[in-house]
Structure formats: structure tokens, C-alpha cells
Chains A and B, each alone.
Chain A
């Protein structure tokens, strides 16, 4: 009888893992994120009022599960709650980084950038400080901020120390070289070019088809307009330019700016993809 009593005392003291948490973590590890989120939520529901529980960490894992399901807003809430339970441990910065990544996923780039910068400034360890720099670069690429991405990547290389870091730094250096080789197109310039010579803005933005089409159409109407002016048919020329030529000419200028933006967008996507491919390797 005494032995049974002692065994039960020991069993009560030994920290056995909670079965629901074990299940939730299992789901998370095999990629069943919806199920993992349900189990984490179940754990939180039954332990919300107990002070000794690892509730902050459970909220963090819930945030990760929700983020992987694509529920970014809910994930953000979970990360916020996990930070409320944080007591200055080394996991604090990791949690803040996860929250900022969520902001990037939600397209809130400036907020994400500010969050990454704050972590960079306040991080206690050098390794953690470099992590947000990398994410800041990705955030800038997604937010179409070329210079900021370049600055962040350069800053990562400057701060690289360890051997493992050097490998990644080489990858980033290559990426930076590629980025430096790319000339982005200015939408303003494209518009000015097309104002001077219709179609030239599109050609500047590498949209050859659109450029030649614009040049051809505006060329014909321009020629007829000039012909009217030379023949002193001023009323005809004015009406033609106001109702016909103007329509094609204005379209040509608008399309030139659009072509430049499209070109830049494809470049950002290309670099971001290349970056992820290199990181995966």
C-alpha cells in the first residue's frame, strides 16, 4: 500500500508531457497544420488560467500552425499573445521575427520593416541580429524596394562572421552582383520618351510589340494631322487631333509607364525567386 502511494506521488511530480500537446506537436511536425492548430487551441482553452503552463510557447506554436495554414491575421494575434507571456528569454527575438514575417505575408511591408529593424537594434546575440537583416531584405524585395533590399543584403555580408555564414554570404554576394547588373526602368522616363516619340517608352521598357504598335498607329495619325496642317485645314486638324490623335497618343503615354512597371515587377519576382532557390539549396 505504501509503495503504491509513493509511486503515485512520484508520477504526479514527474513532468509527463501533456497528451494534447504531444499530439499537436506531432501534427505540426508532419505538416497537418489545421489539426495542429485545433489541438493547440484545445490546450490553451483548458489551461488559460493556470500560471505555470508553457502557454506562451503554445501560443507561439499555434501562431506557426496558423501561419502555415495561411490564416495570417489569426497567426499575428497568436504571436502577440505569445509575446505577452514572454519573460525575456532567448526565444523572445525568434517570436518577434515570426510576427514580423507574418506582417510581410500580409503585405504590411513598412510595418514589417520597422519590426525587423527593431529586432536588429535590440537583439542581444550577434546570430539573432543577422536573421532579421535577411528577412528585411526579403520583405524589401516583396515590397518592391530595390535599394532597401540591396542595403539589407550588404549589411548581412558586412556582419557575417561564422563559416556557415560565409557560405550564405557568398550566395548573397552573387545575388547582389546579379541585382547590380539589372537596370530597373523608370516609369517617368518611359512616359517622357513616349511623349517625345510614341512607342519609344515601351521599347525602353523592353515591350517591343507594344512600342512598334504605338509607333505605327500614332505615326499614321500624326502624318494625317501634319498633312491637314500643311493643307491649311485647321478646323479638320483640330478636330482630328482632339478626338482621334489624342486618344491614341494619350494611350501610348499611359502604356509606356505601365510597361516599365511591368518590367520592374517581373525583375523583383525573378530576384525573389532566385533568392529563395539559393536559400533552399
Chain B
């Protein structure tokens, strides 16, 4: 009896001690507080640290499927905003295992957007074509999906396909996002393209002409003058002193370098011209998608 009283006393003492210690500090590591802390990190823009805290939350506490999908979605967003698109992709893909979640369709769309941002347009297109969303169930996501699909086709320079796809979307839903992408795809159909072989050929015949063709007339004139001048000086040297003319050989060497440099420069200029024209449209697409999805 006496021993039981001592035990009870010790238990009570321990209870008081633990209780008083527990009251001294906040309960940092209970799931609710971990989540609060993670949300605050997310709101202040410390995304990668927030992602770690969300991961801590799901490892400390086994949330139900809906909550787990929600946290995975947040983690994916954290990685995306923290500049780690590939890791974000991994977490968006995890939500595919929760088909009954409200975020399922949204995650699939974001998954494709991650692929799009990573430049994997082909895979993004395939993923989007496998998405099965009806207009009645989720009109907003369907419209975004269609826009992203069109954008993926544009980014692969499949102008014809992109244009006909976006035309059908515009006819069906009159979505402004699809309309603006359709304008870009139409521009793509008539995109000026210059041949680098033709530019090289032109510069071989008349130095600098290839650059004029690549819309760099000043460079072209400068090339013509330098190559022409070097050639003239070489001719002058040989004409005056014959084959042993130092001046003739110096300017021949210089003229040859300038002549071949002018051909190579024209080919490169045309390549740059083509890339710049296309890239301008691509950048427009990227901006439109980033703003709207």
C-alpha cells in the first residue's frame, strides 16, 4: 500500500515536471505548427525551405489522400518557384496517383507546364493529349490545356498543325488565350526564312552580298570594301614588282582571310537572322503561357 502511494507520488511529480517544461516552449514540431511555419515560409518567398517543411509535415503526420495531394501540390509549386522545375515535375506527377482529388486535373496541367518550361515540348504535347477533361467538368482547365497544347506545337515549329489546332479551339470556345496564340501561329506560317547556302554563295560571288541578304547592309558594304581593297592592293603589288612583291603576298594572304571570313560570316549571319526571327515569336508564346497558366 505504502509502495503504491510512493509510485503514485512519483508519477504525479513526473507529470508536473513534464507539464511545466512543455508549457515553457511552443510545440514546434506538432503537425499543425509545422504546416503553419511552412505556409509562412511560402508566403515570404523562401520556397525551397518551405518545401522542406512541407515534406517534414507529411513525414511526421500521415494526412488523408486529399490533404496529401494538396501538400504535394504546394511542394511542387515551391520547387517551381524556387527554380527547380525538374523536382517540381516529380511532385506534380505524384498527384496523378490521386485521381479523385480536386487537384488532379490541375496537377496534370501543371505537370505539362513544367515540361513546357523545361523545353520538352514533345513530351508536354503527349502528356496533354492523354488528359481527359470535359468542358462541363472543368472549363477553365480545359481551355488552359488546349492553349498549352497549341503552344507546344508552336514551340516545335509545327506551324501548320498548331494553326489548325488553335483554329478549331477558337471556333469552339472563343477563348482569348487561344486567340492570341492563334495570331502567333499565323505569323509563324508566313515566317521569312533565309537560306544559309544561298548567303554563302552570294558572298562567294560578290563579297558582302550574303550579309546584305541577311539584312546587314552596312556589314556587307564594309566586307566588300575590305576584301576589294585587299585584292586591289595585292594586284597592285604583283603588277609593280612581279611575283616577288612582298606587298602582293601580304595583301593576298590578308585578302584570302577576309574573303573566306566574309563567306563564313554571311552563313552565320543568316543563321542568326533565322533564329532571331523564330525566337521572337517563341518568346511571345512563352510570355503568354507564363502569364496565363
Q: Contact residues of A with B, CB < 8 Å?
A: 1, 3-5, 7-9, 11-12, 16, 18-20, 34, 37-38, 41-42, 45-47, 74, 220, 224, 227, 233, 236, 239-240, 243-244, 247
Contacts and interface: CB of A to CB of B under 8 A. Distances in A.
Interface in B212-247: 222, 225-226, 229-230, 232-233, 236, 247
Given A18-B25, A42-B28, A220 B13 contact: no
Given A11-B17, A41-B46, A227-B247, A243 B26 contact: no
Contact of B37 (A4, A45, A47): A45
Contacts of A20: 25, 28
Contacts of A243: 222, 225-226, 229
A223 to B, nearest CB: 9
- Dominant secondary structure at the A interface: helix
B16 A244 contact: no
Contacts of B229: 239-240, 243-244
A90 to B, nearest CB: 28
23 contacts: A4-B9, A4-B13, A7-B16, A8-B16, A8-B17, A9-B20, A19-B28, A20-B25, A38-B49, A38-B53, A41-B49, A42-B28, A224-B233, A224-B247, A236-B232, A236-B236, A239-B225, A240-B233, A243-B229, A244-B226, A244-B229, A244-B230, A247-B226
Given A19-B25, A244-B254, 19 more contacts: A4-B12, A5-B16, A8-B17, A8-B20, A9-B20, A11-B21, A12-B20, A41-B49, A42-B28, A45-B36, A45-B37, A46-B28, A224-B247, A224-B250, A233-B236, A236-B236, A239-B225, A239-B229, A240-B233
A19 B13 CA distance: 22
B59 to A, nearest CB: 15
Interface string B6-17: 000100110111
A47 B230 CA distance: 78
A4 B247 contact: no
Interface string B35-61: 011001100001001001100000000
B47 to A, nearest CB: 13
B195 interface: no
Nearest to A12: B20
Q: Determine the main DSSP class of B at the interface with A.
A: helix
B13 A45 contact: no
B20 A11 contact: yes
A74 B49 CA distance: 13
B21 A7 contact: no
A34 B16 CA distance: 36
B24 interface: yes
Contacts of A8: 16-17, 19-20
B164 interface: no
B183 interface: no
Interface in B246-264: 247, 250-251, 254
A24 B19 CA distance: 24
B33 interface: yes
A239 B230 CA distance: 10
Contacts of A247: 226
Contacts of A16: 21, 24
Which 5 A/B pairs are nearest by Cβ-Cβ distance?
Answer: A8-B20, A8-B16, A46-B26, A4-B13, A4-B16
Contacts of B17: 4, 7-8, 11
Nearest to A11: B20
Contacts of A37: 49
B134 interface: no
B292 interface: no
